[in-house]
Amino acid sequence: MAESQDFVDSQTSATSSSASSSIITKSPDDELPKVEQSCPSEKGQSSLPADETSQSSPPPDVVELCRDTFQKTAEYLRGELDGTIEDYKLLEKMNTVTSSRYSEMKHIALSISGALKSLNEKYQSLQPYLEQIDQIEESVATLEQAAYSLDQYSKRLESKFKALERR
């Protein structure tokens, strides 16, 4: 198969009486590789002479346990990788959402900036009128003071006139 990759990892030892090999295949349908474990004694392969092979071949239950262990280890690793993949997908979604929110906040900040600029321009256009209002207020205060002084003077004058009439 052109799309699948086969990796053969053989471990042999000079002091060991048995050899084992693992075949890891990755098919295009799977995200994670599949692990197949085989023992050379089952396939008739052995690095030992024929008389030693029959004495040192593992019992069938050990072979089954070996297969089961490798299968469960592979499933565990698949689960760990799936969890990590899901974490990265979640981080990607969070980054996308955060990016869109920052984009929205940028647009809001730009609209606020435009509104503030418009308000400042309006304030600058009203500034001469505000200065005129301040001047009018000062004039009114001065006139008010003059009216109060005039009222006081007219009261004194009236009291003097009444005093002169009585005489």
**One pLDDT digit (tens) per residue for the chain, 167 residues:** 333 333 333 333 333 334 444 455 554 455 555 555 554 444 444 455 555 555 688 898 999 999 999 999 999 999 999 999 999 999 999 999 999 999 999 999 999 999 999 999 999 999 999 999 999 999 999 999 999 999 999 999 999 999 988 87
- Nearest CA-CA partner of 81 in 36, 38, 35, 37: 35
Residue with tokens 């002091």: 15
User: For the chain, which residues make up each domain, given as ranges?
Assistant: 1-56
At 147, list the tokens.
């009216």
Residue 41's alpha-carbon distances to 13, 27, 55, 149, in angstroms, are: 15, 27, 11, 127
What pLDDT, on a 0 to 100 scale, did the predictor assign at position 1?
37
23's CB contacts (< 8 A; 6+ apart) are 6, 7, 8, 35, 36, 37, 38
Check: pTM over 0.75? Answer yes or no.
no
What pLDDT, on a 0 to 100 scale, did the predictor assign at position 58?
86
